[in-house]
Each structure stands twice: as C-alpha cells, then as structure tokens.
C-alpha cells in the first residue's frame, strides 16, 4: 500500500531535484528519503527517477504520476480542512507564486495583511516572471496574467477587465515629446522586456476588431518587469504595462497615460490552481480578498482605455 508520507517526499524530491534537499527540508536523512522513493517505486512497479552520481530527474513515468500524487495529497488536505470546519482559524502553509512587479508592489502588502489576520497560517511567497510549473514546483496556487492555456489548470478570475497601458514619466515626455499615434512609438525609447530568451519588442493593440502590431525598440532591455517599471519612472523610456502594475504610479503622477483613448492589449489576472479540490478555505478566502482589492484598482482604469 502506498504511504502518504512517501507521496509527499516524492513530490518534494521532484520539486527540489535531489534527495538531500528534500531530506533537509523534511528534517530527515537523505537515505530515508531514498528509501521512501524506493518503497513507492516497488509499490507502483515503475521507476520514478533516473539517478546518476551527478543528477536526479523524473522519468517519463514519474512525470506522468506526479500530478496524481499532488491530487491525492490535496484531497487529504481538503478532508482535514472539512473536519476542522471553516469557522476554525486558518492554519497550515499556503505557497503562492506571483509575477515580480505585481507581487512586490501590489500583492505583497495584501498578502502580508491576510497572514496577519490569520496568525496560525504560514505563507511562502515566490516572486518571478518565469511561469511556475504547478505540478512540479512547491506551490499550491499561482497569480498569473493571461488566459489559462491548459485544461490541466483551474482559473479563478481576479481582474477579467484588466489591460495593458502605455506609460511614461513627465520628465521623459518633456525631453522627447508625447507620441500621438501608435506608429509614432517606433521613434521613441521603448523599454523592452525579455522572458525565456524571447524579446518582446512587438507590442499588440486592439484596433478595429483585430490586433495591430507595433514594432518598438530602445537601448534598455530587462528580464524583470519591475525593472521596466522603475526605468519608466526614472524617465528612461515608454513602458507597456499591466494597469495593475502602474495604477499607483499614474494616480500619484510618477507616470502618465499615453493615448488613453487607445485600448491596450487585454491582461486578465487569475488565481490558478491544478484542481478545484485544492481550493482550501485559506485559498478561497485569499481569492475573495484579492479579487475585492484588485477590482478597486481596475475601477480606476479610464473608461476610454477599455
């Protein structure tokens, strides 16, 4: 019979990439983790990891089995939460992945306040612009821009009407002038974003029921969305950002909206999970809090930009 503790160690080993790291996290010896994986492999009659002296990686069977293991443990967690009752204090560990800019400048104080309101709850927050693999990485939920592109995920909307906007600082506009049309962007310093080796120098705008592509360029490139925002505030160029990322900057005058009559590309924000059974009380309550706060920000987006 499969042991639930062995399943948990299998998941953590897959996420951390080594028996030693998984053992350190669980306060065990590496040999104990290795023994747990071997028990699980014997029970399943498959090899879950390909081992060598220098590396440890999931086999094809391990990759296939991982989401099922995660689902089983999520179901057990759901059962525990049901037995405690939703009226009880939230407890356990909530692991959240979020984009760098949104996470640091918007979500961080909200998540901190949520944790303060539930002292028995522990929060692990992972900020990165790289897309989190919810099946392999040590997270339960991800806050993510864009539409869910996989039937493997469940997406709960946080801001369905959020869009990207063009922004620049007053200092930049004073030095370089204000672009009046999309085509004029080609003559400006645009802040270019790089992710996963891909250069995002083609900005898309909805025009006449279709997407209009504008090729942009500039002397500054970065792979962190928060850096692009900071450069824009410092007057280094024009940024094309989610409204949620720059709302506070526009409200305080650090940045100005450009061509507000031109709608930007849709950038819906969702809370992503691998399965509905993983929506524990802590996740459901966090979703409600974030949706309420995010809705207050999207309500500030000028109607002409929608």
Q: Which helix (H) or strand (E) holds 232?
A: helix 225-233
Per-residue pLDDT reduced to its tens digit, 152-201: 678 889 999 999 999 999 999 999 999 999 999 999 999 999 887 789 99
List the one residue out of 229, 249, 254 whose CA is nearest residue 239. 229
Q: Is pLDDT at 248 greater than 80 in this prediction?
A: yes
Just give the CATH number of 89-159+268-305: 3.40.190.10
List the one residue out of 93, 84, 231 whose CA is nearest residue 167. 231
The mean of the pLDDT values for the chain is 86
Mention every residue, 6+ apart, whose C-beta is less than 8 A from residue 306.
161, 163, 263
Tell me the fold of 164-257: D-Maltodextrin-Binding Protein; domain 2 (3.40.190)
Per-residue pLDDT reduced to its tens digit, 9-33: 888 888 888 888 888 877 888 888 8
Q: Model's pTM, two decimal places?
A: 0.69
Enumerate the CATH 3.40.190.10 domain ranges in the chain, comma separated.
89-159+268-305, 164-257
4-69 classified as CATH 1.10.540.10: no
């Amino acid at each position: 019979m499969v042991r639930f503790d062995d399943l948990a160690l299998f998941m953590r080993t897959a996420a951390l990439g080594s028996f030693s790291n998984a053992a350190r996290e669980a306060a065990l010896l590496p040999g104990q983790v290795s023994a747990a994986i071997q028990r699980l492999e014997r029970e399943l009659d498959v090899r879950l990891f390909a081992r060598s002296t220098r590396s440890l990686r999931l086999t094809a069977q391990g990759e296939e089995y991982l989401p099922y293991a995660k689902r089983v443990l999520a179901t057990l967690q759901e059962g525990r939460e049901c037995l405690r009752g939703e009226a009880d204090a939230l407890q356990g560990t909530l692991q959240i992945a979020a984009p760098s800019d949104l996470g640091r400048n918007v979500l961080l104080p909200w998540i901190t306040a949520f944790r303060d309101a539930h002292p028995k709850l522990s929060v692990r927050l992972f900020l990165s612009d790289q897309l989190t693999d919810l099946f392999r990485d040590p997270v339960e939920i991800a806050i993510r821009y864009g539409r869910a592109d996989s039937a493997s995920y469940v997406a709960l909307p946080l801001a369905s009407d959020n869009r990207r906007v063009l922004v620049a600082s007053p200092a930049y506009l004073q030095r370089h002038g204000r672009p009046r049309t999309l085509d004029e962007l080609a003559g400006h310093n645009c802040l270019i974003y790089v992710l996963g080796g891909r250069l995002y120098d083609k900005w898309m705008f909805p025009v006449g029921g279709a997407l209009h592509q504008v090729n942009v360029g500039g002397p500054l490139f970065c792979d962190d969305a928060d850096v692009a925002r900071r450069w824009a505030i410092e007057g280094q160029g024009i940024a094309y950002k989610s409204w949620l990322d720059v709302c506070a900057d526009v409200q305080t005058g650090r940045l100005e909206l450009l061509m507000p009559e031109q709608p930007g590309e849709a950038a819906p924000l969702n809370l992503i999970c691998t399965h509905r059974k993983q929506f524990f009380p802590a996740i459901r309550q966090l979703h409600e809090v974030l949706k309420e706060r995010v809705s207050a920000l999207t309500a500030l987006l000028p109607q002409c930009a929608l």
